[in-house]
Amino acid sequence: MRNILVGCLAFGLTAAAALAAGPAAEPAAEAIAPRHSKAVYLGLSPQGLGALQRSVPKPAAASGDIDAYNVWTSFEDIDIFNDLSLEGHSYVMCSNFDDSIFYGHLIYSYEDFIEVRVKYDWSIADRLTATVFFDLNGGPGYFLLVDEFDIDSFDNGYYKLKVKYTVTGGGNGSGKESCFFDVFTCN
């Protein structure tokens, strides 16, 4: 977020005028859209998940519940067979080397069909946000959701990404995850 320092000289201002002015408004977040999105059904026990493959999804509490495992970034299109670690991630992205940032999400759906809204919030001065919708058919089971964004949408800096998952059709489940990555100009 940009910290806006607002100063004014109080000479001649009355208390009523100062109250009427109110606090400075925070700049609005800029919405960006992905270049491409995909949802891949991985089955009830997909290969390449390491320790997660041996774990059991948390019990469903309501119709349409989901279990969100992680979100991670990559230079390349994310495929579960890349054997990516499903722990927390911090990556360096070169803004003059790569033209895309890929975000992968692993979730478990307890239903045969749900609609999921994925809302991204990147915390840095430019305040970027994005919302993507997925139709997940063929469950129950694991799904890999992948979104590709233009790296030119991101300024140099260290980002914390917060992702919220909301089931918008077929139930009312939700979840959230986060990850960190760094964007800089590579020489």
Strands 30-31 and 128-137: parallel
> At residue 67, does pLDDT exceed 90?
no
Q: Which two tokens stand for residue 111?
A: 């239903």
In a domain, 138, yes or no: yes
For residue 140, give its domain range. Answer: 41-184
| C-alpha–C-alpha distance, residues 184 and 187, integer Å | 10
CATH number of the domain where residue 135 is located: 2.60.40.3880
In a domain, 20, yes or no: no
In a domain, 1, yes or no: no
> At residue 11, does pLDDT exceed 60?
no
Q: How confident is the model at residue 85 (pLDDT cuts 50, 70, 90)?
A: low
Predicted pLDDT of residue 52: 58
In a domain, 8, yes or no: no
In a domain, 84, yes or no: yes
Question: What is the pLDDT of the chain when averaged over all its residues?
Answer: 76
In a domain, 144, yes or no: yes
In single-letter form, the type of residue at position 64 comes to G
| C-alpha–C-alpha distance, residues 19 and 34, integer Å | 42
The pLDDT tens digits for 118-170 are 999 998 666 899 999 999 999 898 898 999 999 888 888 888 889 999 999 99
In a domain, 147, yes or no: yes
> At residue 19, does pLDDT exceed 60?
no
Strands 113-123 and 157-169: antiparallel
SS3 per residue for 58-70: CCCCCCCCEEEEE
In a domain, 167, yes or no: yes
SS3 assignment, position 93: strand
> Which range has highest mean pLDDT (5-19, 42-56, 161-175)?
161-175
Higher pLDDT, residue 34 or 58: 34
Among candidate residues 146, 154, 29, the one with its CA nearest the CA of residue 99: 154
Predicted pLDDT of residue 37: 96
| C-alpha–C-alpha distance, residues 136 and 144, integer Å | 10
Question: What angle (nearest 5°) sits at the alpha carbon of residue 62, between those of residues 65 and 104?
Answer: 10
Total domains present in the chain: 1
